[in-house]
Amino acid sequence: MLFNSYGFIFVFLPITFLGAFLLCKYTQQGAVLWLGIASLAFYAYWNPIFVALLLATIIFNYAVARKLSQLQGRPSSSSSKPLLVTAITLNLLLLGYFKYTNFFIGALADSIGATFQPFHILLPLGISFFTFTQIAFLVDVSRGFAHEHNFARYLLFVTFFPHLIAGPVLHHKQMMPQFSDSANFRFQADNVCVGLSIFVLGLAKKIFIADTFGEIANPIFDAGTATQSLQFFEAWVGALSYTLQLYFDFSAYSDMAIGLSMMFNIRLPLNFNSPFKATSVIDFWQRWHMSLTKYIGEYLYTPISLTLMRRGLGKPFLIDTIYTLVLPTLITFFIIGLWHGANYTFIMFGLLHGVYLIINHWWRLFKKKFAVAKSSSPINRVGSCALTYCCVVIALVFFRADTVSTATAICSAMAGLNGISLPATLEPLLTTLSLNVPSLGLSFNGVFASKLFTHAHWYIFLSLLVGHLIVWSLPNIHQLMYHYKVACEDLGARPAIKRPQPAGNLSWLVWRPNALWASVLGGLFFAAVLVMASNKPSSFLYYQF
């Protein structure tokens, strides 16, 4: 069931909302169970058979967690480590079967020159998210950091429908206290108003912006798959359009998830914090898919780094750096890439970001060692942001392409290796300037020589301009709702995310419960509903992960 569908907006959401708050009047436990069952129904909309799989993993991991809790404080002979390792292994084997069986067997077949017909394995939606959530819970239970003896609350923790399909990855410290707080099971009009407003803004962002850029980007990547020779401007338009599509699509889902959760008085973790305003790749990963970055850092990068660090002790600087920085980063981002999908393109995406981060860390070490003064000038910030953005765009070409060869072909075109086509009206001017046009790879067949786009040129360039202005000029949802606690970080569940107030000239955009905002959001919602009537709802890009 899609958030941007009639069935969700006009059937599922009202029934779930009314049922939860009617039950709250009589029993908090009943309301928790109702939300858990409703979340299972939400998941069942795609394929009911996978509800059994989801429930099986929940029951299994809940039982293991209870056993791990019982083993706390027992003698060392009753160590919980074998049980924990077994449980994590089984969770990962389940994830691996559904997500990576065809990929790894296919890779093995290719390496020995054999043919392989992929198995028909349907990937359960959100399996990465609910698997990672439960593994983290088991690890923290084994460490004595967590426990949960109420099955209904654990069920809701894993299945809570705003996050179930595309994240964020939840942590028990963020959510369990909220599910236990009786105040969160009383109707609060302010939260409903704020939550609905955020949901409508996310819905509009998905329908009017993200889907628009998808229409522009798709022909370029389809052409790349067909090995059609793209030229400079076409390749850049395709890459930039997909970058904006993914940005607004992920941002829209994150906003809608936060808004839906707020309606039920629950704050989800902030998962998206204007990542394209980042001035370094390190900064980017602190803003993009923040819950995944925190999860990977805590449960993967830190253990790997500590293990390898011991091997580097006493070694020369270069060897020590390889052990403490290069290997942990590349291993971690190889896994992050593979987490996103069973394809070499995702692995390349991860490794590219790993290399970016290594260079970024080395640059910081260089500046520190040679006392290079840190510049906070606007020119330096703009240049750092632009360089970071270009690196991200190149990596996202691999993220979107079907094959590595397609991504390489598009990147080659972006570098101008396939030539640059200009409007025919410029040919006399360049000839007059005595430029040797053929040697420069210039031709005059129009900006988009391959005629792949169905939209007018002015529409495409205007869309890209407006999209980038929104990204870099307007406040994000956390800033728009500056006066309200919309994410669990605001509740002190973990150190607060820096949330600057919009600049003075944009402070009038901060959301307030007044007639103007009500009129704007009402108009946006009405327009979105009309568009939904004429177009089939498109799924969110992160649903596939």
Which residue numbers are catalytic?
Answer: 340
CA angle 453, 454, 455 (to 5 degrees): 90
Overall residue count recorded for the chain in this entry = 545
Q: Contact, 159 vs 323, CB < 8 A? A: no
Q: Contact, 230 vs 220, CB < 8 A? A: yes
| Residues β-bridged to residue 288 | 272
| Residues β-bridged to residue 272 | 288
Sign of CA dihedral 141, 142, 145, 147: positive
Residues 6+ apart with CB under 8 A from 76: none
User: Which helix (H) or strand (E) segment is 87 a member of?
Assistant: helix 81-111
Nearest to 160 by CA among 15, 16, 14: 16
User: Which helix (H) or strand (E) segment is 420 a member of?
Assistant: strand 420-421
Tokens in use for 141?
């239970």
Q: Contact, 388 vs 281, CB < 8 A? A: yes
3 state SS of 506: helix
| Residues β-bridged to residue 442 | 420
